[in-house]
């Protein structure tokens, strides 16, 4: 296997890029970033130094991944979504020592034009709706919408709304996996 890099993409030295990854038009990957296997980096994507993407991450067009962003395996980043890396940026004050880490856990989706304020953690299989503004950490399997983002339901790993019975158990209508709601937390009842 190998990687595909469009001729207009700029890949700085010392990037780690996994087999099967595709990097499309007008992308820029800075030195010391890490991109896993079988990723798709859409058109006009910027990846800063020290960013880490796991395997099978999909980054849609016009996304900038700044230093401090870490995405685990199977993450989806929608078109033009935004990460920040400093809480109080000023053009006349350098705050590179104040970059905050943003962690996007396995299987999470961040919708088109959403914004994630630095320092947040997006939980496993969480779903951030298009245009949402995430200002605090998001639990596993939560569906977040609005500005500021608020949770409206729980979702399965497949992204379907979960309807819980009187015992707090729900079944994904697509894959049949079962989930238990306990203490405002979702626990899968079998491996995903």
> For the chain, what are the domain ranges?
4-89+98-155, 159-192
Which CATH number is associated with domain 4-89+98-155? Answer: 2.160.10.10
The order of strands in the sheet holding 69-71 is 16-17, 34-35, 52-53, 69-71, 102-104, 121-122
Q: Which of 67-71, 159-163, 168-172, 186-190 has the lowest mean pLDDT?
A: 186-190
Question: Does the structure show a pLDDT above 90 at 191?
Answer: no
Percent of the chain with pLDDT over 70: 99
> Which tens digits make up the pLDDT trace of 106-118?
999 999 999 999 9
Distance (Å, whole) CA 88 – CA 74: 30
Are the C-beta atoms of residues 134 and 150 closer than 8 Å to each other? Answer: no
Q: Which residue has the tokens 């491996």?
A: 191
Tokens, residue 122: 């997006």
Residue 190: the pLDDT is 80
Rounded to the nearest angstrom, the gap between the alpha carbon of residue 30 and the centroid of all alpha carbons in its chain is 19
pTM (predicted TM-score) = 0.96
For residue 32, give the nearest of 19, 47, 10 by alpha carbon.
47
């Amino acid at each position: 296997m190998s990687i595909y890099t469009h001729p207009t993409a700029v890949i700085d030295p010392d990037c780690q890029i996994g087999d099967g990854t595709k990097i499309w038009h007008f992308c820029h990957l800075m030195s010391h970033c890490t991109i896993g296997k079988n990723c798709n980096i859409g058109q006009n994507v910027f990846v800063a130094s020290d960013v880490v993407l796991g395997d099978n991450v999909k980054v849609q067009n016009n996304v900038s991944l700044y230093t401090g962003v870490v995405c685990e395996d199977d993450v989806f980043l929608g078109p033009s979504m935004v990460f920040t890396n400093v809480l109080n940026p000023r053009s006349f004050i350098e705050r590179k020592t104040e970059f905050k880490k943003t962690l996007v856990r396995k299987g999470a989706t961040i919708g088109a034009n959403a914004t994630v304020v630095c320092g947040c953690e997006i939980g496993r299989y969480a779903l951030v709706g298009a245009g949402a503004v995430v200002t605090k950490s998001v639990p596993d399997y939560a569906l977040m919408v609005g500005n500021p983002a608020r949770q409206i339901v729980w979702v399965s790993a497949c992204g379907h709304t979960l309807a819980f019975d009187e015992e707090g158990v729900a079944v994904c209508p697509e894959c049949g996996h079962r989930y238990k709601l306990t203490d405002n937390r979702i626990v899968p009842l079998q491996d995903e």
